[in-house]
Structure 1
Amino acid sequence: MGLAWLRRLAARVMAVLLTGSLSYAAAQTHAEVLPVREVAPGVFVHQAPYALALPRNLGFVGNAGFIIGKDAVAVVDTGGSFAAGAQLKAAIRARTALPIRYVINTHMHPDHVLGNAAFADAGVVFIGHRNLPEALAARAEAYASATERLVGPAAAGTRVILPSETVDGVREIDLGERRLKLEAWPTAHTATDLTVLDEMTGTWFLGDLLFLGHVPALDGKALGWIALLDELKRRPAARVVPGHGPASAPWPEAAAPTERYLNRLVSDVRNMVQAGEGMADAARTAGRAEAGDWALFDDFNARNATAAYHELEWE
């Protein structure tokens, strides 16, 4: 064995050790305890940034939370990657050793469901709207490839977990002296919208039926969304948790910005349809008066206008 051979061996050993150290460091970073706010006794929310999915945020760009009962924990949405879900799970474990019994998804979008894989342990029940299994199955491959492209190496381990139980109408679950009311709704933001009410504190997780600060994203029916918000406003709640925006907001006042945006979008598109203007025109100009009031407006508004045009052109 010559000196050159020993040097090559040492270099290879160091490379292996360094790679292992970096992988371990990355895993530790991804499992950091997520900052959460206790918005009511036993109810915790992570307020996500107004941002698109990127490696630095692990795709955690939608709000998520958890509720601690006497016997168990329920999670409401899980972020946009396995790594994001692992951070949320670490935040739960920093506050309780009780079993995580339920993971509830408020709708089908990847920034709310792709962290589910971090919770795929024995005994965990995944719950969603009756339409969620079909919607997620149809999008699983596209979600996986998009997450790899947007989040990069931090997407490792991310996969779609289909709900093991669904809600058609109303269902109640008990965490131990703490009941949660789950309700499935007709098509609004999406065709898979589900809300979660903690009856003990009056805290209502509305998912992406409510946006604050972040421009609403339309993937369902604008008219259905407007009608549903009108119905939801008639129900009392001590506070609401939006899918995007401040972790806790007063109700029903918090509905006003989303309603205003949707009504503006519908009005503009209707006027354009009646004037014989096309979908490209709508994508370019409908809703533009709202631009100064919302983060990420240019990332979502054109798609919203296109969806609204499809919905309204044959009214």
Structure 2
Amino acid sequence: MTATLLPSRASLRRYLRVVFGMLCLTLALPGGESGPVSPAAAQTTPVVLPLSVTEIAPGVFVHQGAYALFAPSNRGDIANLSFVIGRDAVAVIDTGGSLAIGQALRAAIRTVTDKPIRYVINTHMHPDHLFGNAAFVDDRPEFIGHHKLARALAARAERYLALNAQWLGPDAFAGTRLIVPTRSVENRSVIDLGERELILEAQPTAHTDNDLTIQDTASGTLFLGDLLFMRHVPVLDGSIRGWLALISRLEQVAAARVVPGHGPPVAAWPEAVQPQKQYLQRISSDVRRMIKEGRSITEAAATVGLSEKEAWLLFDEFNARNVTAAFAELEWE
């Protein structure tokens, strides 16, 4: 009978070290295999998926936000966001309702171009348009807004952050913070992206008291922010009289196309604004009638504008608020 010799413990340890070394060498060989992974490298780096964008004109891209309220499921992706590419640089127009959406917008830009992002422009103060600003801080752009934007944000910062953290939840809202303008527009300003100029105009009180419009001279595209709502019912946070007056003036602006703050990525001008104009005129005339009849603001909020309900999404969420704001303004005429 032949005896079976068992290796000593020392021999076994040496054998295992050799096998382990050969395994590491095999994993490090070229051809797609990876080598040994350190604990630090093994930590998963979050993958940022780019937002979907539509090129509505050469070098002009728009992401369409959802017709929805803030919710964890959409991470604050409820407004239209845009970017314009010039010969030398990129300008971003609105950045979304959270850091996560801003990061996804930046990822979308990087799928199209590696040109520097030199400007981040906010059309107004509402969180769904500017809470993504922080995603662009490392690009060191100029953050541009209406000259009243910084003051408006300072007055509302605590409330905006608290409410939106509550609506989005801790995961979707993580890392979100307010980035205030580093450059303001008093009346009119022009930025040059390289053979492409953007004209920025500070508008009088309308949707808010800090609305900024942007016109791309190269393509004739006019970015209106929330001065234009399509399908999503308009939201009044400024002056109904001022908004109607501004619509009349903007209707005279020659534009090949417009980008609304909420709605499709692109629309014809001035046809696009007619439903919104009709809605605001209806609210205005009905509120004036109720004030004349001595009716209360509560009665007005419950009844005014109902004839417009079928034309708009999110009507129940915002119409009574619009009527209340219009009543408070118009009763002092």
Offset at residue 121 of structure 1 (A): 2.0
Q: Choose which of 223, 247, 253 in structure 2 pairs with 1:205.
A: 223
Provide the residue aligned with 2:182 in structure 1: 164
Which whole-Å CA distance do the structure 2 matches of 1:221 and 1:144 have between them? 24
SS of corresponding position for 1:172: strand
Which whole-Å CA distance do the structure 1 matches of 2:135 and 2:154 have between them? 18
Provide the residue aligned with 1:230 in structure 2: 248
One-letter code aligned to 1:305:
V
TM-score by length of 2: 0.86
One-letter code aligned to 2:178:
V
- Once the two structures are superposed, residues 25-74 of structure 1 have per-residue CA deviations (whole angstroms, 9 ceiling, x without a partner) of xx42xx21100000000000001110001111110101110000000000
Q: Choose which of 216, 226, 242 in structure 1 pairs with 2:234.
A: 216
- Once the two structures are superposed, residues 185-225 of structure 1 have per-residue CA deviations (whole angstroms, 9 ceiling, x without a partner) of 10000000000000000000000000100000000000100
**Contact 2:118–2:139 at 8 Å: present in 1 too?**
no
1:182 aligned onto 2:200: yes
SS of corresponding position for 1:94: helix
One-letter code aligned to 1:296:
L
Offset at residue 123 of structure 1 (A): 2.7
SS of corresponding position for 1:107: coil
Q: Choose which of 252, 261, 264 in structure 2 pairs with 1:243.
A: 261
1:313 aligned onto 2:296: no
One-letter code aligned to 2:58:
P
Provide the residue aligned with 1:113 in structure 2: 130
Provide the residue aligned with 2:64 in structure 1: 47
One-letter code aligned to 2:264:
P
Which whole-Å CA distance do the structure 1 matches of 2:239 and 2:172 have between them? 33
Cα RMSD for the two superposed structures: 1.4
Give matches, 1:1-315, under 5 Å: 24=45, 27-28=46-47, 31-152=48-169, 153-315=171-333
Query: Percent identity, aligned pairs only?
Result: 57
TM-score by length of 1: 0.91
Which whole-Å CA distance do the structure 2 matches of 1:295 and 1:72 have between them? 36
**Who wins on radius of gyration, i.e. which is larger?**
2
Which whole-Å CA distance do the structure 2 matches of 1:224 and 1:306 have between them? 16
Query: Structure 2: 5+ residue runs without aligned partners?
Result: 1-38
Runs (4+) of structure 1 exceeding 3 A deviation are none
Which whole-Å CA distance do the structure 2 matches of 1:121 and 1:187 have between them? 32
SS of corresponding position for 1:50: coil
Offset at residue 122 of structure 1 (A): 4.8
Which whole-Å CA distance do the structure 2 matches of 1:123 and 1:201 have between them? 26
One-letter code aligned to 1:150:
W
Query: Structure 1: 5+ residue runs without aligned partners?
Result: 1-15
One-letter code aligned to 2:260:
P
Which whole-Å CA distance do the structure 2 matches of 1:104 and 1:257 have between them? 27
Offset at residue 244 of structure 1 (A): 0.3
